[in-house]
Amino acid sequence: MKTFRLRMPNLLIVGLLVMLFVPQLVYAEERAGTQEAADPTSIIGSVSPADGAMITESFTLISFTLGIPITDTGSIIIMVDDQQLIEPNYVHGMVFSYCSNLQNGTHSLSIRVLDHDKKLLQEYNGSFNVRLSVWENSVLEAANIEADSLRLSWTPAKESLGYRIYGNGILIGAVNGNITSFDATNLRPNTAYSFKVEAKRSDGSWTTDGPTASVSTFPQDRINPIIESVFPADGDSLTTAWPRITAKVYDEDSGINLSMSMVGIDNRMVPFSYDEASETLTAIAPRLPSGTHSLLIFATDNDGNKTQYTSSFSVKYEAGTPFLERSNKIRAALDTGDPADVEDVRRLSSEFAELDEITDQSLIDPIWNKIKLKLPASVDKAELKRKLFHIIVTIGSLPYDQQESALKTILSDPEFLWTLNTLAVAGGETNLTMEDTLSFIFGDGNNLRGIEGHVLYYLSELSPIELFGLLGDHQKMTDVLMKAITNQLSQTSYYKISSILRNLNVTAHDVQSTLLNFQQRLKHDGPAVHALTIAYIRLMAQESVKVSSDGHQHNYSLKVSSIDIPPQALKWNKVSGSSHFSITPDGVVSIPEEAYTATAVIQAALVNPYSGVNKVIFQKEVTIIPDKDQSVIFQSIMNAFESKLGEAHSKLKDATTHEEQTLLLLDLVNAGKQAIKQIKPLNLSQAVITEGIDTITSGIVQAASSLLVF
């Protein structure tokens, strides 16, 4: 007797696993004990392949569910085309076997279940059809992929009167049987497609197991973003310790994807902001030491196209320059804010100056009591304590209007240098440099954050609500500062000052106690620290601007380093400008649809959550130019100025005093300046813009000349 054999032994294992882990196929379970009479109609069930089923393989699994316990059966015989298959297997109510070498056509299937006495319990007779695939080892491939088209090609089927091509389950084309390629067109850009090809058999039927291919079309935008006008330029030499990185970054088609773009200095990512209106990227570098530094700007558009810009620049400054630079910038930021903040800082400086260098020395006892135990006998401890306290008082009482010169004097003062050196030597460090001090306070621009960097890091971990609650709360700000100092002092392997303080047994608690002594002694400490905090935020604030699709609306937000200032912590308003220009308290700037352009000065104030005075931290003149025909906008601006010019000429004729004429002329000059500001950003040729500016200038000159006539 001919016996069907398994094509692959591994298929038996697969079949076993299927029966074990697919409980819905299980219709019977084994049981021991006494036998019960079986319902003959339920002994053989769920036969596969089902009667009349079509299969496309030359081998198949023959299976059925057994409705009685296997112990109630004597033998099970499975036959295909009157040929008995190998002994079937039984797993959890399922009986199965395999047959192979099937050919095209109809095949009979017979199943007989016998009891122990060879008595037939139930018999099944049916048939199934085999139509072997014409697609053996066929492959479908995609080439010439574009945003809206691609070419499909495939290895031919064994027989075919034609082919049908499907894309994502939908018929998209058909070709004759001698053609094995197809151009798929009218596709959507940046879209995933699953293609399939089916062949028409000689009997007119169509295959269902043709080859498939998955492919994505390219985005419509195939042009990389543009990065230009970068500062500092390649090879530039700077004298600032905190360079401001700027670049014009834009993409004409899909726009810049900020989440996939970055700025890096010396292989370290630097937080940046982006103004969609001016297409300007801005990043404030961390404190950089003197030397050469690498710059990387990486831009990605919304369709995944990328551009990378790399360069290097150098920084060179004298040892104490960063202290002077940061002091000057903070003072400038103070001066542009609330005058009351300046007064608070002045009062604190005066309080420091009033401290008695004899009776108030106890303020530094928490750290001094640790330091003195480590000093050699040769050191005059009382004199050293006096000098240390004197340095603290001198720095705290620097005259507000003479800070730079006074700070230079301190940094070069022999007594200052001797005191620090004596403390460093007592702490086991004989080579403490100014760079070590800068790194401790400001970081090194690379791996070391410094106290400033640690404060920013801990602030970045706070939620928007926590950040908002921090504003105006002096104690919470002190807690963040102490957390930063504690972390800093623990890193003795990276910071020499941390190592010195550890060797002197000075702990973070000692530092905190010393700070607390000064805070309790100085009445204006809290207001002054708050004022300086606001000035720091004002100095470091960077705006991000998102522009609506039609350009009529700009959404403003602010961040400091990598920290987004919570929207609820800001209140925006218009200071001056066009009547067409409006801004909501949450920073949404807009102009009406009928307006071609508008300019205004806007500002953002930091809201005090404790009912204090709001503090302005950002101000800028903004021009909105909607996404309309630039030449139409240009003509609208020129028409508006010409109307203003005609009005001025008419009023000048009627003006009877020199004062009236001067005011009219000044009004015209301001209108001309405003028109020129609106023209300059337009995306027009330089010749057109120059001609417009010349026309406006000429009109003002003619109006002024008319005063000589009337």
Rounded to two decimals, the pTM is 0.64
Residue 371 burial (CB count, 10 A): 23
Which uninterrupted H or E stretch holds 64? strand 60-66
The reported pLDDT for the residue numbered 708 is 55
Inter-residue contact 589 to 565 (CB < 8 Å): no
The amino acid at residue 689 is: I
Domain ranges of the chain: 9-130, 140-216, 228-315, 321-535, 548-624, 630-706
Give the residue carrying structure tokens 């400490």.
Answer: 525
- The CATH superfamily label for domain 140-216 reads Immunoglobulins (2.60.40.10)
Inter-residue contact 7 to 59 (CB < 8 Å): yes
Burial of 430 per CB tally in 10 Å (0-12, 13-18, 19+): exposed
CATH class name, domain 548-624: mainly beta
Inter-residue contact 333 to 536 (CB < 8 Å): yes
Inter-residue contact 277 to 433 (CB < 8 Å): no
The reported pLDDT for the residue numbered 643 is 87
Asked if domains 9-130 and 548-624 share a fold, the reply is yes
Nearest residue to 516 (alpha-carbon basis) of 504, 525, 506, 507: 525
CA distance 418 to 603: 47
The reported pLDDT for the residue numbered 290 is 93
The reported pLDDT for the residue numbered 710 is 43
The values of phi and psi at residue 334, to 5°, are -65, -45
Inter-residue contact 620 to 543 (CB < 8 Å): yes
Average pLDDT for consecutive 10-residue bins of the chain (710 residues)?
A: 38 41 37 41 88 87 92 93 92 90 92 93 94 87 93 93 94 95 92 94 88 90 90 96 95 89 94 92 92 96 92 92 87 92 92 92 95 93 92 84 75 86 92 85 84 88 82 83 91 92 94 92 90 91 90 92 89 93 94 86 89 89 82 85 86 81 85 87 86 90 68
List the strands of the sheet with 120-130, edge to edge. Answer: 53-55, 120-130, 105-114, 75-80, 83-84
Inter-residue contact 583 to 591 (CB < 8 Å): no
The values of phi and psi at residue 480, to 5°, are -65, -45
CA distance 676 to 638: 9
Radius of gyration of the chain (CA): 42
Task: Tell me the C-alpha to C-alpha distance, in Å, between residue 367 and each of 372, 427, 514, 567.
Answer: 9, 13, 7, 41
Q: Which CATH architecture has domain 9-130?
A: Sandwich (2.60)
The reported pLDDT for the residue numbered 382 is 93
Inter-residue contact 423 to 504 (CB < 8 Å): yes
Strand partners, 170: 167
Task: Tell me the C-alpha to C-alpha distance, in Å, between residue 530 and each of 427, 455, 539.
Answer: 33, 15, 14
CATH class name, domain 228-315: mainly beta
145-148: long-range contacts at Cβ-Cβ below 8 A with a sequence spacing of 24 or more? Answer: 145/215, 145/217, 145/218, 146/217, 146/218, 147/187, 147/189, 147/190, 147/217, 147/218, 147/219, 147/220, 147/222, 148/185, 148/186, 148/187, 148/188, 148/189, 148/217, 148/220
Give the residue carrying structure tokens 């982006």.
Answer: 274
Strand partners, 563: 560
CA distance 114 to 210: 42
